[in-house]
Amino acid sequence: MPPSASLASPSPSSPSPSVPSTRAPGPAELLDFVGRTAADGELIASLPLDPDDRTWVRLDGPGGSEAWLIGWPPGTGTGWHDHAGSVGAFFTARGALREHSLNARLPTEGWRSLELDEGLDRTRRLTAGRGRAFGRHHVHEVLNDSATAHAVSVHAYYPPLPHIRRFSRSGPLLRLEHVERPEDWR
């Protein structure tokens, strides 16, 4: 998911895709791609890290997917969001990220706030060398909760993100705040 910070330098070359462009990549193929990309030490080291804001570089993902190399300063995060029905994967290359997610499928339209049932929350800690894939309708927030260390991760989505819905959360209440379009983060 594209972060809300300034665009970093032009995209460095990414590892060659493992999925032919004639077939849509699924979560497993995206996870393989982000894992291989995160293991490219030269690429990871090329990302300029800002002390205050997230930085990112867009990469060419497999099979026409959208991919991002993202730098996370200490204490930064995405806020709650979804990926508009795209499947995806992310992999931590350096540092550690925490993911809070909902084990629920939200309606795609026609609501401004929902009260969530108990037991829907999931938390994962993804240290360097760990990643995860997810299906359509995934709602989560990703955080670098370190007080001192940057994290770097690789993310991929298919189809490329048509938009991202941003949410606020107060206890069990989830509110749709706004919708970002690709032009908002490019």
Alpha carbon distances (Å) from 172 to 23, 81, 105, 122, 138: 39, 15, 15, 13, 17
For position 48, what pLDDT does the model report?
Answer: 95
How high is the pLDDT of residue 22? 63
Q: Phi and psi dihedrals of 2, rounded to 5?
A: -65, 135
User: pTM for this structure?
Assistant: 0.85
Radius of gyration in angstroms for the set of CA atoms belonging to the chain, rounded to a whole number? 16
Partners of 58 in the β-ladder: 68
pLDDT above 90 as % of the chain? 79
Cβ-based neighbours of 78, under 8 Å, separated by 6 or more: 1, 3, 4, 140, 141, 142, 143
In tens digits, the chain (186 residues) has pLDDT values of: 443 333 333 333 444 444 445 689 999 999 999 999 999 999 999 999 999 999 999 999 999 999 999 999 999 999 999 998 899 999 999 999 999 999 988 887 888 999 999 999 999 999 999 999 999 989 999 999 999 999 999 999 999 999 999 999 999 999 999 999 988 876
pLDDT in tens, 124-149: 999 999 999 999 989 999 999 999 99
Gap between the Cα atoms of 80 and 71, Å rounded: 18
Straight-line distance from the first to the last Cα atom of the chain, in angstroms, rounded to the nearest whole number: 12
Say if CB 70 and CB 54 are below 8 A apart. yes
Identify the pLDDT of residue 106. 86
| Residue type at 53 in one-letter notation | D
CA–CA dist 4, 153 (Å, integer): 15
- In order of start, what are the domains of the chain with their CATH numbers? 27-184 (2.60.120.10)
Inter-CA distances, 161 with 20, 141, 150, Å: 20, 16, 26
pLDDT at site 23: 85
**pLDDT the model gives residue 5:** 34
